[in-house]
Amino acid sequence: MIYAVWIPLLVPFVVVPAARRLADALAPARAARLLAVTGAGLALCTVLALTLLVVPGAGRLPAVAAAGAFVHPLVAAAPATAVPLAAAAALLIAGCAAAVARAVRGHWAQLHRDGRPGRADRGELAVLRDSRPDAYALPGRPGSPGRIVVTTGMLQALEPLEREALLAHERAHLTGRHHLYLAAAELSARCHPALRALRAPLGYALERCADEAAAHAVGDRRIAARAIGRAALAARAAGEPPAPRPAVALAASAGPVPRRVAALLGRPAARPRVGRAAAATLLICLAVSGAAALDATYDLHSSIEIAQGENP
């Protein structure tokens, strides 16, 4: 177990280069799903590996040995390293749990906050009287479709078809529940520092999903690209920054806008081989991490049986 248990802790560092290539080389929806699943899976394997490091050291404590009916010390527990290693792993698990709890509370509070922009409006669209150009999708409570918030300054900066594309972009964020993908990535990052690198490619993939939905809604990729570019330029050209957005908001002008516009216009060459290779790398890393965690779990279970005198 002592070797297999380290694999889930090291694999996330291997995933990062492949994840950065995946967002550009694979279809946006597939890339977003794969990045979210990979991050969540590797985070779970990380927590399991840390838990497996805690058990051998804890088994050397008299109270734990008595509760587990150990008649022999755990085979996997070397006295010189087991207890300090278990203590360090326990501290890491506690830190992860606290960080995840804070993130969940913060996300939940944002979704349930009463003083949301445009709360006097009851429809899907809330228009704020503000000369500063801004637009974003604001997810609602569970079971609620959420709202699209746009300022009068943003509406004045765009032409009618561009406005339609912008609203379709934000609507795609709401219907696709993209904030849940980002929440999953945020929670995964709290469990392993290397998984923080998945948030940027995942955010880009989600923006690309909404871009494609906007292009489909207006029937013209050039209009969608122009709407996104002009919205971003209008927001940056404003003399003062827009009002602070809620943390769960998703904005059309976020992320690497030039890359998104170029993708809509079809400028990047298709790279199916790179996409398949990156996707395969992520899936292999996830499978290896899960298999190593299961192997370490089986070894620990065998060690516990030996310590209980059931399997000489």
Look at residue 82 in the predicted model and tell me its pLDDT. Answer: 76
Look at residue 301 in the predicted model and tell me its pLDDT. Answer: 75
- Is the pLDDT at 1 greater than 70, yes or no? no
Look at residue 114 in the predicted model and tell me its pLDDT. Answer: 41
The C-alpha angle 287, 290, 291, rounded to 5 degrees, equals: 80
Higher pLDDT among residues 258 and 73, named by residue: 258
Per residue in 184-223, pLDDT (tens digit) is: 999 999 999 999 999 999 999 999 999 999 999 999 999 9
Asked if 202 contacts 185 with a C-beta cutoff of 8 angstroms, the reply is: yes
Rounded distance between C-alpha atoms, residue 280 and residue 237, angstroms: 42
Asked if 74 contacts 68 with a C-beta cutoff of 8 angstroms, the reply is: no
Higher pLDDT among residues 20 and 30, named by residue: 30
Least Cα distance to 136 among 154, 113, 120, 122 occurs for 154
Here the tokens at position 242 are: 């827009």
pTM of the model: 0.85
Look at residue 75 in the predicted model and tell me its pLDDT. Answer: 60
Quote the mean pLDDT of the chain: 84
Here the tokens at position 74 are: 């755990």
E strand segments, 118-248: 125-128, 135-138, 147-151
Look at residue 154 in the predicted model and tell me its pLDDT. Answer: 93
- Which of 181-190, 221-230, 233-242 shows the lowest mean pLDDT across its residues? 233-242
């995942």: which residue's tokens? Answer: 202
Per residue in 99-145, pLDDT (tens digit) is: 999 988 887 777 766 444 444 445 788 898 988 898 998 887 766 77
- 122 CB-near residues (< 8 Å, 6+ apart): none
- Which of 142-146, 172-176, 241-245, 246-250 shows the lowest mean pLDDT across its residues? 241-245
Neighbouring-strand partners of residue 149 = 126, 136
